[in-house]
Amino acid sequence: MQERRFDFIVDSHCHLNYKGLVEEQGAVIDRARRAGVGCMLAINTKLSEYDDVRAIAENNSDVYATVGIHPHEAENEPDVAIEALLERASHSKTVGIGETGLDYYYDNAPRDMQKVNFRNHIAAARTSGLPVIVHTRDADDDCINMLQAEMAQGEFSGLIHCFTASQRLADACIEMGMSISISGIATFKSAKELQETVKTIPMDKLLVETDAPFLAPVPHRGKTCEPAFVMDTARFVADLKGVEFTDFTNITTSNFFNLFNKIDDSFKPVELA
């Protein structure tokens, strides 16, 4: 069978239910489609908001959802059982677990609670077969140690989203078979170290995202970020990697569907009038 070639790109991480996007959600999604974004992954960060995120996916054939509790929310939603994640993960348009992980920069939740939350999500990912989406900031050592310990108990797939961490974390995650997603931060003039790390990430492990409504890439700095802007990040990273843009689009989109493989092979982007 001939390998499918993709002529669109995916925003692998956006928050379509967040302030700044939700007010004109339909227009935001339409602008993304017209920019060449064929698929968007709407990320859940509070279990109490899962129904809102799922509804966006149900109402748009090119939007999928995840289920998860952000490390910032680990204290606010501390008693979520693995079964609660798995129940929601069974929905046909819920294709990933997270975002979850560790954030020691803000420490909005006690670190021990963040770790419990992270482990529960990994367990749900392992059981469901869906990839875990990892947020990590200023927590490289604990993130590596936890991922390695959990991987030793049973393999699971995963993605480090909005990667800004060390070369050491990138290398460790790639060695574990995980993928890495790059946001608009890579386009910032101050991101020289990150740009050097991006150059080392194998193309078959690379995805791109916006993390909208945050982190608008150059040339949109200062604006509310939206999924359409993933094209600017993709062009920048393609140049950084020395890859033709059409090849970059094809590879990263293929990587997305290989990782989030619950999405049916017959997926097609929305046809525009």
Cα–Cα distance for residue pair 232/255, rounded to 1 Å? 19
91 annotated among ligand-binding-site residues:
no
Q: How far apart are the first and last CA of the chain?
A: 31
**Amino acid (1-letter code) at residue 18:** Y
121 annotated among ligand-binding-site residues:
no
Cα–Cα distance for residue pair 135/142, rounded to 1 Å? 12
161 annotated among ligand-binding-site residues:
yes
70 annotated among ligand-binding-site residues:
no
72 annotated among ligand-binding-site residues:
no
99 annotated among ligand-binding-site residues:
yes
Q: Which of 3, 63, 32, 59 is nearest to 267 (CA)?
A: 63
Q: Which of 155, 258, 130 is nearest to 203 (CA)?
A: 258
Cα–Cα distance for residue pair 91/89, rounded to 1 Å? 5
Residue 101, token pair as written in the block? 């992980």
Cα–Cα distance for residue pair 96/109, rounded to 1 Å? 23
Annotated binding site: 13, 15, 99, 135, 161, 211
Annotated binding site for a divalent metal cation: 13, 15, 99, 135, 161, 211
